[in-house]
Amino acid sequence: MTPKKELRIGLIGTGLMGRTHSNGYKRIGDFFPELEYRPVLKAVCSRNEENLRKFADQWGYESVETDWRAIIARDDIDAVDICTPNDTHAEIAIAAAEAGKMILCEKPLARTLAEAQRMVEAVDKAGVQNTVWYNYRRVPAVTLAKQIIDSGKLGKIFHYRANFLQDWTINADLPQGGAALWRLDADAAGSGVTGDLLAHCIDTAMWLNGGITDVSAMTETFVKERVHQLTGKVQKVSIDDACIFHCHFENGSLGLFEATRYARGHKALYTLEINGENASIRWDLHDMNRLEYFDYADESIVRGWRSILVTDSDQPYMKRWWIPGTSIGYEHTFVHQVADFLKSLETGEPCAPTFQDALQTQKVCEAVLESAASKSWKDTGAKGI
């Protein structure tokens, strides 16, 4: 067997995304054995030294760092994986690019469009491989949706709708800020559900249905004040708890998006639907191995929505896993993204979504927040990705 080329990873951040990414790297060899590159867990970085050691031991990182600059400074690291809160993405990514490192950045790319643009400039200037972890593209059922759409089966598109509904912040006693709850702190997160949840919906939407040209949005902050974990004081909540917008796509179809953390009964209900002249598609993260498909070409009396169990070897990614009828889960989307990133190193192609792609999503997010603030329609300037 030819020895594999190494992709030496420096992971920054040891939260939930640090775990999903680490798992992604570690499983590649078992399920994608033909790839030329293999990830090596060279170093992991966090400011909390105790947790850091534990994390490194558990996941098998060769070394630890407590300052991300040290990761970037190391010669034995090829790629920097950014899993830290959003307020650090730009600084780390730009420094990494300047140091010639490849970058795998957790979504959203940045807190603001301005930050995102500087990040894109940095990777463009440095010419380093880059990708953003919008992982839901690589749910096999969603990838299959992309294949069906690209095949032209849907015809002219009329509607696209998506929502991402959660209920975990309803309790007004939940604090904001700090290691676990930075997503409720606008300084750290940039925004609330717009960057956290809608960004996912927008990335998938523009990948499946092209660019979003203009938006009209509404946001709401249901709990106005929360204790801040860092200060211990009751402070104003600045994030959006909920965000709804409608929009136009370049192809003339209408879009409708909603995200919230106040939809009692829904844990992570990301659903999407696209309606074309000839066919329609639906998907639901809570039943992620299924795709629903309606084909008007079916004989009239037996026409109906098909519930496709996406577990067969001729469906995207599924030949890697088990047998028809047996499902995979959330974590596999990250494995798929690692595999595709490694493959991109062989082919020299970009690994979508790139920073440039994620910038388009950032443009829509920014327009959405501006639209909500100004109570007016906003052009996005985004291109399809």
Tell me: does residue 275 bind a second copy (CB under 8 A).
yes
Q: Which is nearer to a second copy, 230 or 254 (CB)?
A: 254
Q: Which is nearer to a second copy, 102 or 382 (CB)?
A: 382
Cis omega (within 30 of 0) for bond into 140: no
| Spatial CA neighbour of 188 closest among 378, 372, 13, 364 | 13
Which of 234, 303, 346, 349 binds a second copy (CB under 8 A)? It is 303
Residues in the chain: 385
Q: Which element (helix H / strand E) includes 245?
A: strand 242-249
Tell me: does residue 224 bind a second copy (CB under 8 A).
no
Q: Which is nearer to a second copy, 260 or 354 (CB)?
A: 260
Shortest spacing between CB 191 and a second copy, in angstroms:
17
Which of 286, 319, 349, 373 binds a second copy (CB under 8 A)? It is 286
| Spatial CA neighbour of 235 closest among 245, 223, 244, 250 | 223
Q: d(Cα 129, Cα 344) in Å, to the nearest integer?
A: 9
Beta bridge partners of 131: 104
Q: Are 145 and 291 in contact (CB under 8 A)?
A: yes
Tell me: does residue 152 bind a second copy (CB under 8 A).
no
Options 174-182, 185-193, 327-335, 358-366: segment touching a second copy (CB under 8 A)? 327-335
Helix (H, G, I), strand (E, B) or coil at 331: coil
Q: Which is nearer to a second copy, 73 or 330 (CB)?
A: 330
Binders of a second copy: how many residues, by CB under 8 A? 96
What is the secondary structure of 167-199 as a DSSP string? Answer: -TT--TT--BBHHHHGGG-HHHHSSSHIIIIIH
Tell me: does residue 330 bind a second copy (CB under 8 A).
yes
| Spatial CA neighbour of 22 closest among 46, 3, 48, 5 | 46
What part of residues 16-35 is at the interface with a second copy (CB under 8 A)?
Answer: 16, 19-20, 22-23, 26-27, 29-30, 33
- Side-chain half-sphere exposure of 174, counting CA atoms within 13 A: 19
| AA letter at 198 | L
- DSSP conformational letter for 319: G
What part of residues 49-88 is at the interface with a second copy (CB under 8 A)?
Answer: 54, 57-60
Which of 49, 62, 76, 312 binds a second copy (CB under 8 A)? It is 312
Options 63-71, 81-89, 111-119, 262-270: segment touching a second copy (CB under 8 A)? 262-270
Shortest spacing between CB 19 and a second copy, in angstroms:
8
What part of residues 87-146 is at the interface with a second copy (CB under 8 A)?
Answer: 144
Options 69-77, 88-96, 125-133, 237-245: segment touching a second copy (CB under 8 A)? 237-245
